[in-house]
């Protein structure tokens, strides 16, 4: 879901923040959001508690809830894509090449 989520809505997030988890993507609460995503994607509950409280303190309760919902959605959509062998039409490959390189997608097992 990586490149699709970054381009489909026409609102491209900063790629360094997505690819390396570095910086804030040039967005308000961006660093807190990235840390929260990393914690949700990890297994350390203490790290998750810390990241959650950091995001809540910075952006508020409603923001935290909606951020958790977006992350849950992409825990879902990544599994839809990976579980059904979803791929892009060949004609979109040229548009994706630079993005794929920047995000180091080619090494993923799911790249097919």
Nearer to another protein, 75 or 98 (CB): 75
State how far the Cα of 7 lies from the Cα of 10, in Å rounded to an integer.
5
Pick the closer one to another protein by CB: 41 or 57.
41
- Closest approach, Cβ 98 to another protein, in A, equals 15
> What is the closest distance, in whole angstroms, from the C-beta atom of residue 111 to another protein in the complex?
4
Alpha-carbon torsion (19, 78, 74, 38), positive or negative: negative
CA angle 105, 108, 112 (to 5 degrees): 90
Query: Cα–chain-centroid distance for residue 32?
Result: 13
User: Smallest gap, in angstroms, from Cβ of residue 102 to another protein?
Assistant: 11
- Do 7 and 99 touch, CB atoms closer than 8 A? yes
DSSP 8-state secondary structure symbol assigned to residue 22 = -
Residue 108 C-beta: closest distance to another protein, Å: 5
């Amino acid at each position: 879901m990586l490149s699709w989520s970054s381009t489909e809505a026409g609102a491209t997030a900063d790629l360094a923040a997505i690819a390396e988890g570095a910086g804030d993507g040039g967005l308000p609460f961006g660093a807190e959001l990235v840390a929260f995503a990393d914690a949700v994607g990890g297994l350390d509950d203490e790290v998750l508690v810390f990241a959650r409280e950091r995001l809540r303190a910075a952006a508020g309760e409603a923001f935290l809830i909606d951020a958790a919902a977006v992350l849950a959605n992409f825990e879902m959509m990544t599994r839809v894509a990976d579980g059904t062998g979803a791929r892009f039409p060949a004609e979109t490959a040229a548009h994706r090449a630079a993005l794929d390189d920047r995000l180091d997608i080619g090494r993923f097992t799911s790249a097919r």
